[in-house]
Structure 1
Amino acid sequence: MRPHLLAGFALSLVLVAPLAAQTAPTAPTLDPMTNDKVPSYEWVRPEADYVRREAMVPMRDGKKLFTVIVYRKGTTGGPILLSRSPYNATGHTTRNRSQKIEEILPVMDAPFVNDGYIRVYQDVRGLGKSQGDYVMTRPLRGPLNATKVDHATDAYDTIDWLVKNVPESNGKVGIIGSSYLGFTSLMALFDPHPALKAAVPQSPMVDGWMGDDWFHNGAFRTFGFDYFLGQTVEKGGGAVPSGTGDEYRGYLETGSSGAYARTWGLDKLPGVRKMMEHPAYDSYWQQQAVDKLLAARKLTVPTLVMLGQWDQEDSYGGPAVYKAVKAAQPDAPIMLGIGPWRHSGANYEGSSLGALKFEGDTALQFRMDWIKPFLDCRVKTNPAPCKAMPAAVTYATGANRWEVDAKWPAGSEMPLYLGANASLSWTRPDTAGSDEYVSDPAKPVPFLPRPIRMEGDAWRTWLVQDQRFVDGRTDVLTYSTPVLDKPVHIKGAPRVDLRAATSGRDSDWVVKLIDVYPDEATATPGMAGYELGIGIEIFRGRYVHGFATPAPLEPGKTYAFGWSLPNVNHVVKPGHRIMVQIQSSLYPLYDRNPQTWVPSI
């Protein structure tokens, strides 16, 4: 059958008269001299997957602290994770100008905000956009602080405001942060707010004289000059403009650290002046020692204190807090975490450090296996039960594995003796002996191969630098074991017991504990003969009678010097050797000891 068209067809047209064109009102033409500066630009667009709020949070003295609150859209009943920082809260929350929450926050924050956490960063008092005066390490209210506020009260007031003014939260708070942010995390533990349920201080500044940023066992760390300049001068640019690409030469040419400070006007900075006025471990330092202050109180907030095994800035503080609190309160809710990292390395990629390679991203492993579960079970709504807190979770470098211990330090002490002919032995020598070297203050031993810049990767990884660069120096004594036929596992803080004399009136003593790789290291390509520092630490001789009572040494008299190397978990493998080096300078990381008596170096 053929298809056919129907003849009937009607067409109806509706003609519409054209409407008059409507145009949007035009803005007046700008005057050529119109101010081009605008008060703000909202870079967070409607399509962003997060909410970012800024607030000026009031403190009890009327000052307001700038605070940034970030959470994924749709978050309800979320726990708050707080960090109090001197490094710009805006910067912490604008890693990239992005519409994705994972891109604007630090890498370590992603697992938290993706799991309903509300992330909060705050500028500490006097820095960034916060009001008030900035004191580098503001003491707690008391003999050194007659005001009504400190970091403990600021943390309390901030938490109180957050739980009352962030309706998306469940009213529970954890605090976390590294370095200075680790210090402020610890400060929150003094008279804590009831809503504070957990703390994770990482690489915290605890005692700036004993072994954190400014001094180690009385020896001044010159890198502090750059830090003070960058932190305390308006628009400070960081490094001192010394005009040299080699800080070894720059410091040497000015003489002493005091002369360096005066040359560059650093002696005018209040923070530098405080250190110059308190070169010994007097009440100024003792009354700010956070480990001692915490031990004097009952710790009620569960705390995971952690650090990197090769932390080049704050290796002392975390273990000191753990040790002091446990000694005073054996059942304290505190545990220690140590990973194979540099300073603050837990917050970055952790599959390597310098020439060292590990089994996977150790930093991510610790964040996901320990930090997040530690916080989750304490601050989330209806969480799974918390697992028991071990004494310590540490990474055994050399063997490349995580280990969990019921006590710290683990194991037992085993002495290692210096011997004749540059030997190192587990057996005490039958007869006493001695070795000597000439230490010339005009030619100090560098802590890195020259030229030296205390910045970037060279600074971050200096503790794992191959120590062969000092080979051939006559002012470095070197002792070594035979090649090991079985592994040696070191867990804890190796203790130095040194009997030494000097022809001068003062001296520094530096001891390095070193893992020497085989000359043919087929299992670790590129590491043949490598001399890896397991622990490196200094002691200023004038403090042999006590850190608060410096005194000149008697030339020729033998003294017993004792101090600890940083905490480690390291396995020296069979086929390797253990080496000990002794020298009298580590320059210019530590200022030069003139090796004669002066009241203050």
Structure 2
Amino acid sequence: MKKILLLSGCFAAFSMAALAQEAPPGGIAPDMPDKFQVVDSSFDYVRKDVMIPMRDGTKLYTVILIPRAAHDAPILLTRTPYSADHMVSYAYSGHMGSIMQGYDNMPDVIADGGYIRVIQDVRGKHGSEGSYVMARPLHGPLNGAPVDYATDTWDTIEWLIHNLPQSNRKVGIIGISYDGYTALTALFHPHPALKVSVPMNPMVDGWMGDDWFHNGAFREETLPYIYTQDATRKSMQKWWASEYDAYDVYLKGVSAGMVGKSRGMEQIGFFNQILAHPSYDSYWQDQAMDKLLQKEGLKVPTMLVHSLWDQEDIYGAIATYYALQKTPSAASNLYLTMGPWNHGGEAKEAGTLGDIDFHADTGLYFRKKVLEPFLAHYLKDPSIPLPARVTAFRTGENVWESSNALPSPDCATGCTSLHFQPEHGLAFTAPAAGAGTQQYVSDPAHPVTYIPRPVLTKGVPGSPWAKWLTMDQRNFSARPDVLTMTSGVLTQPFTIKGQPVVHLTASTTGTDGDFVVKLIDVYPDEVPEQREMGGYQLMVSADILRGRYRKSFEHPEPIPANTPQLYKFNLPVADHTFLPGHRIMIQVQSSWFPLYDRNPQTYVDNIFLAPASAYKPAQISVDVASSWIDVHAPTPAASIFAPQKP
């Protein structure tokens, strides 16, 4: 729908004379009026497009949708860099629910709930004035200005409650991804009228495990996003590539820094910041929202929403949850929902994800059974019951569960270990000392991909980006440069919760290297009700660690060649039951390309600037007796595995 201009009440009838335009001498009168006014008297909402002034004089473009019957109605705000106008322009309709089909709009909650919907462009994007900074840091060491996203939210709420007489002067803020980040920033020195926040799949720490890096490995496939998002105010510049397969784009480009520079990205401030800060220094630490919120505290009831297969921001919601759980006063305002979704999947129909069938629309369940009462309790009627502190969907058995808290992230108690075994086995008991090693050769010239080739980048027609974390891993377990450890067949269900903790002891002939570890559910050889799932290898949890950061994320150091080293790191949170007849698998590899940039496996000061000559093969030797994964689960009986066939 094109932009609708609000007038109070019904539009007056216009005469043809009022619309007529004088023809230029010798010309033809234009068809298009100077200003077209939509006759919206039959619409069930009215729209206002306003420029709301901030304390420094900058005006932010804001779209306001008000139900015609609104009286004493709460306000739901989203602040976005993705065009407020676009987010309510998906259908030609006079019904508020029909036009709210954008990324953060959930009409079955927002429109049906009678909320006044407010969507605002952040500074420097689309219709707003000012300059844009990627994930603009809060006022502090990285931002000496007196304004930030927190003050912009405060000023916006102040304007709304004084200029929308239809409201009850209660405001909630909600958003997915970047918009989840802005929902978090609203929690710093919050406006008194802000009664609730719902950050969904939020960007929290771009170095530790969200958009830009995971444990020091750079997510090379984010370069197109940075290019488009940061190059122009209206995101008009589009990433270009001369190859269909992104594998070729990045392999020929050598390093992520060289690929970016070949497209002129040194003109973009954020790209230069990434090149200048490859390690977890103060630039990243001082803007990590989980750390900042832990210091700030939590004064506003907040529901964090996490997707178990989030291909973009799988770190943020859980890291923020654990940080706030440490402070009792913050924990009293803290809620969490986890579901079997990809990035933002909770806002859509979510009965399946890729090949995995959950046998019910889990997105609808979340929106109607969890989100709707949570918002209504704080914005409408406090007598409406709240959901549990933690609402989680357990995959495998496909059931919703409620609890008071997630298991602790360190697996100090209540855990069991999945031990590597000789001959590529996996068991709950440790092997004898001196069980030997398992080797593979990692060659940067032939890196392991994260999806089968051709690798189609996000946004390319046919790209599996949205579902790749649930894709079958058999293509990779068959590679000689992927170490695969597999258990016997389960005779009983085995349920894990929380974050698995990797303890991998390995040596390399190189002086640097990456380690990817995947925890996988292997389906039975035959699945009668869905034959194509026979033998399917489902990634339950997986992540990467750049070896130079094995001791310190802030201070990298070379790996001593041919010397066993411990690589310990957490995998993303899981809530999964391995069913009888299934097996448990662990895969270990040293590249995940081109999602992550290649490690040269020769230590250089800055991998973004590594020359082609630095990229060399290395033999990896994994110490079997000293490698395992801890999972939050009671230690099962030894008989949980069926006897191995001779």
Please indicate the TM-score interval, normalised by the length of the shorter structure: over 0.9
1:49 is aligned to 44
Q: How far apart are residue 266 of structure 1 and its match?
A: 1.7
Cα 1:512–1:164 change in 2 (3 A) is same
Worse-superposed segment, 447-456 or 405-414: 405-414
1:373 is aligned to 373
Q: Confirm whether residue 302 of structure 1 aligns to residue 301 of structure 2.
A: yes
Structure 2 CA distance, aligned partners of 1:238 and 1:204? 25
Q: How far apart are residue 429 of structure 1 and its match?
A: 0.7
Q: How far apart are residue 139 of structure 1 and its match?
A: 0.8
Mapping of residues 495-510 of structure 1, within 5 Å: 495-510=501-516
1:408 to 400, 406, 409: 406
Structure 1 CA distance, aligned partners of 2:358 and 2:219? 30
2:537 is aligned to 531
Q: Confirm whether residue 440 of structure 1 aligns to residue 443 of structure 2.
A: yes
2:78 is aligned to 83
Cα 1:169–1:588 change in 2 (3 A) is same
Mapping of residues 201-600 of structure 1, within 5 Å: 201-234=199-232, 235-237=234-236, 239-329=238-328, 331-380=331-380, 382-387=381-386, 390-409=388-407, 412-432=414-434, 433-456=436-459, 457-600=463-606
Q: Is contact 1:346–1:363 with CA below 8 Å preserved after alignment?
A: yes
Q: How far apart are residue 43 of structure 1 and its match?
A: 4.0
* SS, match of residue 185 in structure 1: helix
Structure 2 CA distance, aligned partners of 1:429 and 1:591? 35
Q: How far apart are residue 88 of structure 1 and its match?
A: 0.3
Q: Is contact 1:68–1:122 with CA below 8 Å preserved after alignment?
A: yes
RMSD of aligned alpha carbons: 1.8
Q: Is contact 1:179–1:314 with CA below 8 Å preserved after alignment?
A: yes
Structure 2 CA distance, aligned partners of 1:311 and 1:384? 34
- Residue type of the partner of 1:313? E
Q: Is contact 1:118–1:169 with CA below 8 Å preserved after alignment?
A: yes
Cα 1:591–1:43 change in 2 (3 A) is farther
Structure 2 CA distance, aligned partners of 1:555 and 1:420? 24
- Residue type of the partner of 1:499? T
What whole-Å deviation, never above 9, does each CA across 1:446-501 have from its counterpart, x for those lacking one?
11000001215500111001001124311100000000001111111111111111
- Residue type of the partner of 1:469? N
Q: Is contact 2:171–2:193 with CA below 8 Å preserved after alignment?
A: yes
* SS, match of residue 489 in structure 2: coil
Structure 2 CA distance, aligned partners of 1:173 and 1:249? 48
* SS, match of residue 102 in structure 1: helix
Q: How far apart are residue 35 of structure 1 and its match?
A: 5.6
Structure 2 CA distance, aligned partners of 1:356 and 1:229? 33
So what's the TM-score if we normalise by structure 1? 0.93
1:159 is aligned to 157
What whole-Å deviation, never above 9, does each CA across 1:482-533 have from its counterpart, x for those lacking one?
0000111111111111111111010000001100001111144421110000
Q: Is contact 1:300–1:332 with CA below 8 Å preserved after alignment?
A: no
So what's the TM-score if we normalise by structure 2? 0.87
What whole-Å deviation, never above 9, does each CA across 1:334-381 have from its counterpart, x for those lacking one?
01111100001111111110001113210011011111101101011x
Structure 2 CA distance, aligned partners of 1:42 and 1:68? 17
Q: How far apart are residue 385 of structure 1 and its match?
A: 4.2
What whole-Å deviation, never above 9, does each CA across 1:368-407 have from its counterpart, x for those lacking one?
1111101101011x442443x6331110111011011122
Unaligned runs of 5+ in 1: 1-22
Q: Is contact 1:495–1:562 with CA below 8 Å preserved after alignment?
A: yes
Q: How far apart are residue 33 of structure 1 and its match?
A: 5.2
Structure 1 CA distance, aligned partners of 2:376 and 2:76? 11
2:9 is aligned to none
Structure 2 CA distance, aligned partners of 1:496 and 1:49? 54
- Which protein has the larger Cα radius of gyration, Structure 1 or Structure 2? 1
* SS, match of residue 555 in structure 2: coil
Unaligned runs of 5+ in 2: 1-14, 608-646
What whole-Å deviation, never above 9, does each CA across 1:148-169 have from its counterpart, x for those lacking one?
1001000111111111111100
2:54 to 52, 59, 76: 59
2:4 is aligned to none
Structure 2 CA distance, aligned partners of 1:28 and 1:144? 53
- Residue type of the partner of 2:58? K
Structure 1 CA distance, aligned partners of 2:78 and 2:375? 14
Q: Is contact 1:390–1:407 with CA below 8 Å preserved after alignment?
A: no
